[in-house]
Amino acid sequence: MTEHHGTIESHPLGQDEAQNTFPPSAEFRAQANVNDPSVYWRAAEDPEAYWAKRASELRWTKPFTEILDWSNPPFAKWFADGELNVAANCLDRHIAEGIGDRVAIHFEGEPGDTRTLTYAELTHEVKRAANMLTSLGVEAGDRVAIYMPMIPEAVISMLAVARLGAAHSVVFGGFSADSLRARIDDAEAELVITADGGYRKGRVSALKPTVDDALALRGGGSTVKNVLVVQRTGNDVTMQEGRDLWWHEEVVAYDDQHEAKGFPAENPLFILYTSGTTGKPKGILHTSGGYLTQVTATHRDIFDLKPETDVYWCTADIGWITGHSYVVYGPLANGATQVIYEGTPETPDWGRWWSIIQKYGVTIFYTAPTAIRACMKVGRQVPEQYDLSSIRVLGSVGEPINPEAWRWYHEVIGGEKAPIVDTWWQTETGAIMISPLPGLTSLKPGSAQSPQPGIDVSIVDEKGRRVDRGQGGLLTIRRPWPSMVRTIWGDPDRFVDTYWSQVDGQYFAGDGARVDEDGDIWLMGRVDDVMNVSGHRLSTTEIESALVDHVAVAESAVVGADDETTGQAVVAFVILKSQQQIITADEAEAELKKHVATQIGAIARPRQVFVVNELPKTRSGKIMRRLLKDAAEGREIGDVTTLADTSVMQIISDRVRSEK
Ligand code: PRX
C-alpha cells in the first residue's frame, strides 16, 4: 500500500489534490473516443445542437426537425416530431450494417450453463417474441410488467415490448408480492412476463409463485390478463388455466420475421419504480428518442467503448436503472458485446466474477462501490488468482466511492492502468450526468468530477444561487437533458413537487455536493443523510469514508442520532475485516473514534462505534441508514421488509441496547 495522506474527503478544501490525481496515459488518450477537451465548451455553447448531433447517430424512421420543446416546464419534449423504433436501433440496424455475427450477449448462468447470442440471433428472438406479444394483445401504449431473473429472456422481453411501442415496467426479482402488486396496479399492466425461478446463491429462487401471490391479493381482481412464464429452473409452479402460458410452448408458434414500426420520440419506453421520501414508490417515466440518444452517447464516450473489440460487463440487475440504461439500451444500441451473469458474486465462491472476466476477456467492467468493498473484505488474494489483464476501463455507480475502495479497485482489479469512471446519475436522470471522460480527465479518487458535455449541473445554496469553488451545496440541473424523467406515472403534481419546487426553476436531485478549487464535483450523499452536529454540517459519506480508510475496517454506516447537547451526534456501525485481526472489537471503539477525529476533525468524532457482523441492506445493496438511526435512537425498528436479511436489525438493536 502506498502511504496515504488522509482521504480527500477528509480534507476536501484547500488541499493540494494534485498529489492524488491520475491523468490518462498517453497511450490511452491517443486511442480514446473522446480526447479533444474542446468538446466541453462546444457543447456548452449550444447544448441543443450538441444533443441533436448525438441524436442523429441513431436511426430515425422519420427524422426530427424540433430539438427541445420546453414551452411547458418542467415537462420536456425532445425531438418530438421525429419517429424511431428503439428496439430496431438495438438490433435491426446492426444487421443492416453487417454485424449480425457479432456476439451481443455472453450469458453465464449461476450454475455454470452458458448461452451465446449473436446480434442476428438476438434479433430473431426479439422478433418472435414481438409476434407472440402481439397475439396476446400487446399494442403501442400498453404496459407490460417484467419480473425476471438475469437471463437472456429478460432482455428479449424488454426489447420485444419496446419494439411494439408498448412500455415495460421491470420489477426487480427480489421484490415481494406486495411490491410487485403495487407496481402492476399503478401501471395497470395487462401482461406479466416472469420465469419459474432463477438461480441465486446456489439455490432456486422462485418467482412465479410470487406473481401468483401478487395477483391473488386484493380479492384477486387485477388488470392482468395473462402471465407468460419462461422455464429456467424447473421448480414446481401452478399454471392457471386461461391466464398463464409457458413461453417455450407459445413462442415456437411464431415467425421470426417482424417489421418494426417507428413511434414518436416521446412515446413511453418504460416506467421504473423508485422509492421516494414517502412510502409510495414513484413510477419514473422515460420516453424513447431522448433517452436512447443520451444512454447511447454516454455509454460510448464514458466507457470508451470500441464495439468491435471490447467485451463489456455491467453487473447491475435489469431491475434497476443501471440495468436498463447500461445493460440493455446503451450497449445494444452501440452494438457492444457484453456479458450477462445471472447470479451472485460469491457463488460458488468469491472468485466467480474474476473467473468470468478471465473467461470472456472482459475489457470494461462496471459495478458498485458496495460490491467492491465486499470484495475488499474478502481480500485481494482472491482476484489475484485470476488473469484480469484484459481490463482497460473500470466504472463505479450508485454511491460515492470512498478513496480506499477506489485505490483497491484501481490497483487490484485495474492493474493500476485502467481508468476508473465514477458515474453519478439517478433513475430520474436516465443516463450518466457526471463522470470523468477517461481519455481527458485526471482522475481524483472519490470525485465524479465533471458534468458530461451538454449537461448543465450546478451546486447551489438553498436560494438557488451558485456557490463558490471550495463550497458545498445542493446539486441541481438547470437545463433539460434528453434522458430526463418526463413525469411520475399518473402523478404529474408529485413530479413538479418532488423535483422542481425546492430550488426554483431547477431540477433538484436530492444530493448534496461540493465543488473543489478545480471545479470538480464531489458527491456528499443524499441531503437527508447530512447531519448537523453542533451547528456544523457533516456528511455521513465523509465519515464512512474515513472509517473504511482505517486498515481494520471493511464497511461502515453512519447516522446522525438525536443528541441533547449537540443536536445530532455521529453514531457509527462498522464491520471489521475478517482475515486481519488488527484490532479486536473491544479496542475498535476508542481506536476508530480517534481515527475519525484525526481524519476529519474532532467535530466528526463519533459518539458511539458499534462493531457488527452485517449492515442492514436492501436487496440491491443499499444500506438502510434509517433503521440504524432507529436503533441508535433506541426506537422501535421501522419496516424491515425490504432488507435482504431481515434478522440483521434485531441483532444490531440488541447489541445497541446492551451498551446502554
Ligand atoms: O445519491 C445518489 C446516488 O444514488 C442516487 C440515485 O439512486 P438510483 O436512482 O437508485 O440510481 C442508482 C444508479 C444510477 C443518487 O441520488 N449515486 C448514484 N451514483 C453515484 C451516487 N452518489 C455518488 N456518486 C455516484 N457515482
3-state DSSP of 175-242:
CCHHHHHHHHHHHCCCEEEEECEEEECCEEEECHHHHHHHHHCHHHCCCCCEEEEECCCCCCCCCCCC
The answer to whether 144 touches 112, Cβ cutoff 8 Å, is no
Rounded to an integer, what distance in angstroms lies between the CA atom of residue 156 and that of residue 130?
Answer: 9
Q: Whose CA is nearest to atom 8 of ligand 1?
A: 426
Which residue's entry shows cell 448461452?
115
- Looking only at the bridges linking them, the beta strands covering 263-264 and 521-526 are unpaired
Q: Whose CA is nearest to atom 12 of ligand 1?
A: 398
**200 in a known ligand binding site:** yes
According to the model, what pLDDT value does residue 639 have? 83
Torsion of CA 357, 360, 364, 370, to 10 degrees: -30
Cβ of residue 400 lying under 6 Å from some atom of ligand 1: yes
Report the atom number in ligand 1 closest to the C-alpha of 427. 9
Rounded to an integer, what distance in angstroms lies between the CA atom of residue 653 and that of residue 634?
Answer: 8
SS3 state at 203: strand
Rounded to an integer, what distance in angstroms lies between the CA atom of residue 544 and that of residue 541?
Answer: 5
According to the model, what pLDDT value does residue 555 have? 93
DSSP 240-268: -TTTEEEHHHHHTTS-S--PPPPEETTSE
According to the model, what pLDDT value does residue 20 have? 82
Q: Whose CA is nearest to atom 24 of ligand 1?
A: 400
- Which of 78, 22, 43, 8 lies closest to 482 in space, CA to CA? 78
Cβ of residue 9 lying under 6 Å from some atom of ligand 1: no
Kindly give the parts of the chain with pLDDT less than 70.
1-19, 275-280, 528-530, 532, 534-538, 565-567, 579-581, 660
According to the model, what pLDDT value does residue 622 have? 85
**626 in a known ligand binding site:** no
Query: Which cell goes with 121?
Result: 440471433
How far does residue 526's CA lie from ligand 1's centre (Å)?
9
Contacts of 564 (CB under 8 A, 6+ apart): none
**Partner residues linked to 168 by β-bridges:** 144, 270
According to the model, what pLDDT value does residue 280 have? 65
According to the model, what pLDDT value does residue 529 have? 63
**367 in a known ligand binding site:** no
DSSP 462-478: TTSPBPPTT-EEEEEE-
Cβ neighbours of 346 (radius 10 Å): 16
Q: Tell me which amino acid residue 142 is.
A: D
SS3 state at 628: helix
The answer to whether 297 touches 129, Cβ cutoff 8 Å, is no
- Looking only at the bridges linking them, the beta strands covering 83-84 and 263-264 are antiparallel
Q: Is the ipTM of this complex over 0.95?
A: yes
- Which of 315, 327, 440, 313 lies closest to 369 in space, CA to CA? 315
- Which of 612, 659, 618, 609 lies closest to 642 in space, CA to CA? 618
SS3 state at 589: helix
DSSP 118-162: EHHHHHHHHHHHHHHHHHTT--TT-EEEEE--SSHHHHHHHHHHH
Peptide bond into 37 cis (omega under 30): no
Cβ of residue 244 lying under 6 Å from some atom of ligand 1: no
Report the atom number in ligand 1 closest to the C-alpha of 526. 1
Report the atom number in ligand 1 closest to the C-alpha of 422. 26
Cβ neighbours of 53 (radius 10 Å): 15
The answer to whether 581 touches 660, Cβ cutoff 8 Å, is no
How far does residue 26's CA lie from ligand 1's centre (Å)?
31
Report the atom number in ligand 1 closest to the C-alpha of 509. 16
Q: Whose CA is nearest to atom 14 of ligand 1?
A: 426
Which residue's entry shows cell 469514508?
545
Rounded to an integer, what distance in angstroms lies between the CA atom of residue 137 and that of residue 268?
Answer: 18
Mutate to test the pocket of ligand 1, among 399, 443, 542 (most ligand atoms within 8 A of CB): 399
To which H or E segment does residue 47 belong? Answer: helix 47-55
Longest dimension (CA), the chain: 72
